[in-house]
């Protein structure tokens, strides 16, 4: 990769792209080239560490370019400039965000692995790197305890371990003053401890699998680095929820690269992850399934690490001979996983296999990190690929984390597998939550029962909405039963978001060719009619990469009764039985 990079121009970071966040809401025009600059620099650093020249000059070029940026902060996070009513950041008032943390981490790990070479080839660069790290990151961190990501108000999310992890590397590798280094490390430990204490004991992550890599995984990396720095005195792997947190990825795996996704999580995230982190974590806790899940992503005759997930991760991965020697294994794919604190059930037809049906049911509330209004929603996958889906993360824009968040179609309950009651969708806020989610696990099948009424505003007139979702391993079906008691006019619309190709649609029947190739049949009482099947073009690039050019939404309207019931059954069948009508 470093060879190919040397044949291309370095990314250009332009003010006009930065300003687009305020002009038209676009974040990616600036964040993508900024990320590419960090990736290319990291690739050159790694190549120089392994092979020396000519990559050392390439690495130095990238490192100095990073030092000369006006800001390391992404426009979406730049509060100081916005408060002044300006677009151009003030270099004398740097904002410490994820972008700054990601950038300083490149400098820190580059200094660790290239120090002698940089001193010999470009004397003075390491001093410049230290000066920029102190001015943009260390001084702001030591000088203020008002950064929201510290979580001092009790609201903890992935920014905390993500930034603290990079601050720790900065302190260890770029801060020469022993007193300042100790102060940074003390505050990092305090912040990580606060984050760890906030995590549920069941190992769940309300931000979903994709953000697990930048939440719990960043925590594990920081604790590992602290353990190394103290000569193994910390032994953090049994602290709190650490053993359970390592199990989250394999519990959410559907197979074939698909994952149960909640909130802003893609259903098919990038496979280019720091799998050696999970592998080492599983070894430390003695969790064979966590190790096996990581090992299932080890491909023979391919690099053990890449710089995509970050330079620090790549450097640490290269020092792990057990990961390098690990042959690929089958993923564990457990038959049942129930996380009672985050209220998430995953149940599959066959443990250890992606073949057949899998269902996931979510409870929780509508003020979770990266929240979608999705209390009581569920997904059904066939041979790994979701068919009744959670659409997941859209491309972030200026409204993604504002009061206008729920203008995004994928965040709204009407674009989840949920009812619209008397014209009302679910509401956002911690008070809108599931009531009494109860799960039964048994060899012949698993079921979840949940009352959705609390997720709707009082004006919806939803007195009770009991939903039961059951995967029956004997009949190879998923059965969803809704029983409700609502006020007049008793207008119920049951929404089902569908990925794949509709093959046959008529009263009580919809057959869909899944993205995995199999055919899932949805059936219900024909007296409720065929419902309305809508095609929705997908123009968002992140969503299109997962779901293709379009998704569909099946809306079934049962008879208007204040007390009613509706049952939907999902089953797999031979695709040859269905024509296109």
Inter-residue contact 358 to 350 (CB < 8 Å) = no
pLDDT digits (tens, 9 = 90+) for 272-292: 999 999 999 999 999 999 999
Q: Please report, for residues 109, 136, 137, 191, 339, the alpha-carbon distance to residue 72 in angstroms, rounded to integers and kept in the order given.
A: 17, 8, 10, 22, 38
User: What's the pLDDT at 1?
Assistant: 72
Q: Is the pLDDT of residue 424 over 90?
A: yes
The token pair that represents 313 in the structure block: 């991760």
Q: Which helix (H) or strand (E) holds 553?
A: strand 550-556
Mean pLDDT for the stretch of residues 23-40:
97
Query: What mean pLDDT is predicted for residues 401-424?
Result: 97
- pLDDT exceeds 80 at position 549: yes
Q: Which residues contact 178 (CB under 8 A, 6 or more apart)?
A: none
pLDDT in tens, 160-197: 999 999 999 999 999 999 999 999 999 999 999 999 99
CA distance 41 to 43: 5
Which tens digits make up the pLDDT trace of 102-111? 999 999 999 9
- Please give the torsion angle defined by the CA atoms of residues 518, 247, 374 and 267, in that order, rounded to the nearest 10 degrees: -40
* % pLDDT > 70, the chain: 99
Give me the pLDDT at residue 4, please: 84
Residue in the block written with tokens 């993604």: 400
Tens of pLDDT, residue by residue over 44-56, are 999 999 998 889 9
Is 60 exceeded by the pLDDT of residue 448? yes
Whether pLDDT at 577 is above 60:
no
CA 304 to each of CA 42, 315, 318, 329: distance values in angstroms, whole numbers, following the listed order: 16, 11, 7, 15
More confident residue, 541 or 300: 541
pTM for this predicted structure = 0.96
Cβ-proximal residues to 219 (8 Å cutoff; 6+ apart), any chain: 161, 165, 192, 195, 196, 245
Could you give the CA distance from residue 383 to residue 405 in angstroms, rounded to a whole number? Answer: 33
Mean pLDDT over 216-233 rounds to 96
pLDDT tens track for 121-140: 999 999 999 999 999 999 99
537-544: average pLDDT = 97
The domain spans of the chain are 232-332, 336-577
The per-residue pLDDT of the chain, averaged, comes to 96
Q: Is the pLDDT of residue 578 over 60?
A: no
| Predicted confidence (pLDDT) at residue 493 exceeds the cutoff of 60 | yes
Q: Which residue is associated with the tokens 């390439």? A: 58
Distance CA 270, CA 298 (A): 14
Beta carbons of 454 and 426 less than 8 angstroms apart: no
Q: Is 324 exposed, middle or buried (0-12, 13-18, 19+ CB in 10 A)?
A: middle
Does position 581 have pLDDT exceeding 60, yes or no? no
| pLDDT tens digit sequence for 319-331 | 999 999 999 999 9
pLDDT at 519 exceeding the cut of 70:
yes
Copy the structure tokens of residue 307. Answer: 């710089």
Residue 300 has pLDDT above 90, yes or no: no
Residue 456: which residues within 8 A CB-CB, separation 6 or more? 421, 424, 425, 426, 427, 432, 462, 465
- CB burial of 407-437 (b: ≥16 within 10 Å; e: otherwise) equals ebebbbbbbbbbbbbbebbbbbeeebbbbeb
Is the pLDDT at 575 greater than 60? The verdict is no
What does the pLDDT look like over 387-398, one tens digit per residue? 999 999 999 999
pLDDT category at 7 given cuts 50, 70, 90 is: confident
Secondary structure element (H or E) that encloses residue 513, with its range: strand 509-513
CA dist., res. 26 & res. 29, Å (int): 6
Please name the helix (run of DSSP H) or strand (run of DSSP E) that holds residue 536, with its range, or none.
strand 532-537
CATH fold for the domain made of 336-577: Beta-galactosidase; Chain A, domain 5 (2.70.98)
| pLDDT tens digits along 13-30 | 999 999 999 999 999 999
Give the residue among 192, 290, 211 at the shortest CA–CA distance from 243. Answer: 290
| Listed residue (411, 400, 358) closest to 518, CA to CA | 358
Q: How confident is the model at residue 560 (pLDDT cuts 50, 70, 90)?
A: very high
Reported as type and span, the H/E element at residue 451 is strand 445-451
């Amino acid at each position: 990769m470093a060879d190919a990079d040397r044949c291309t121009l370095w990314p250009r970071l332009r003010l006009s792209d930065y300003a687009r966040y305020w002009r038209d809401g676009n974040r990616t025009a600036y964040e993508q080239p900024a990320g590419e600059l960090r990736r290319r620099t990291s690739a050159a650093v790694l190549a120089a560490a392994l092979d020396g020249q000519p990559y050392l000059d390439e690495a130095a070029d990238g490192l100095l370019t990073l030092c000369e940026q006006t800001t390391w902060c992404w426009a979406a996070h730049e509060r100081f400039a916005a408060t002044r009513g300006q677009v151009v950041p003030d270099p004398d008032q740097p904002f410490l965000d994820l972008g700054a943390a990601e950038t300083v981490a490149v400098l820190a790990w580059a200094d660790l692995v290239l120090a002698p070479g940089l001193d010999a080839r470009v004397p003075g660069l390491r001093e410049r790197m230290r000066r920029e790290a102190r001015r943009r990151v260390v001084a702001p961190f030591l000088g203020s305890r008002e950064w929201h990501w510290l979580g001092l108000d009790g609201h903890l999310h992935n920014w905390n371990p993500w930034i603290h992890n990079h601050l720790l590397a900065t302190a260890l590798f770029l801060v020469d003053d022993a007193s300042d280094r100790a102060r940074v490390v003390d505050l990092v430990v305090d912040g990580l401890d606060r984050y760890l204490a906030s995590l549920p004991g069941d190992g769940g992550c309300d931000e979903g699998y994709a953000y697990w890599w930048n939440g719990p995984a960043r925590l594990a990396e920081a604790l590992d680095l602290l353990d190394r720095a103290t000569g193994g005195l910390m032994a953090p792997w049994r602290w709190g929820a650490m053993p359970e947190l390592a199990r989250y990825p394999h519990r959410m795996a559907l197979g074939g690269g698909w994952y149960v996704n909640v909130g802003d999580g893609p259903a098919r995230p990038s496979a280019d992850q720091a799998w050696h982190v999970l592998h080492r974590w599983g070894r430390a806790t003695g969790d064979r399934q966590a190790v096996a899940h990581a090992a299932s992503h080890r491909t023979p005759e391919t690099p053990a690490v890449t710089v995509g997930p970050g330079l620090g991760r790549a450097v640490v991965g290269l020092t792990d001979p057990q990961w390098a020697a690990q042959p690929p294994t089958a993923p564990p794919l457990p038959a049942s996983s129930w996380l009672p604190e985050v209220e998430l059930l995953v149940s599959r037809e066959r443990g250890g296999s992606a073949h057949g049906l899998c269902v996931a049911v979510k409870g929780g509330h509508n003020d979770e990190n990266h929240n979608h209004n999705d209390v009581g929603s569920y997904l059904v996958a066939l041979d790994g690929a979701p068919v009744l889906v959670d659409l997941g993360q859209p491309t972030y824009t200026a409204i993604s984390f504002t009061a206008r968040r729920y203008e995004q179609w994928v965040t709204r309950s009407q674009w989840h597998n949920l009812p619209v009651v008397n014209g009302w969708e679910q509401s956002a806020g911690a008070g809108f939550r599931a009531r009494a989610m109860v799960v039964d696990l048994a060899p012949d099948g698993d079921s979840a029962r949940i009352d959705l009424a609390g997720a709707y505003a009082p004006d919806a007139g939803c007195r009770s909405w009991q939903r039961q979702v059951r995967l029956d391993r004997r009949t190879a079906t998923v059965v969803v039963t809704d029983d409700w008691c609502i006020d007049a006019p008793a207008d119920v619309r049951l929404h089902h978001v569908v990925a794949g190709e509709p093959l046959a649609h008529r009263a009580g029947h919809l057959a869909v060719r899944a993205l995995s190739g199999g055919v899932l049949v949805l059936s219900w009482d024909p007296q409720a009619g065929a419902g309305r099947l809508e095609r929705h073009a997908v123009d968002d690039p992140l969503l299109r990469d997962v779901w293709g050019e379009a998704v569909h939404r099946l809306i079934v309207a049962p008879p208007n009764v204040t007390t009613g019931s509706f049952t939907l059954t999902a089953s797999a069948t031979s695709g040859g039985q269905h024509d296109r009508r």
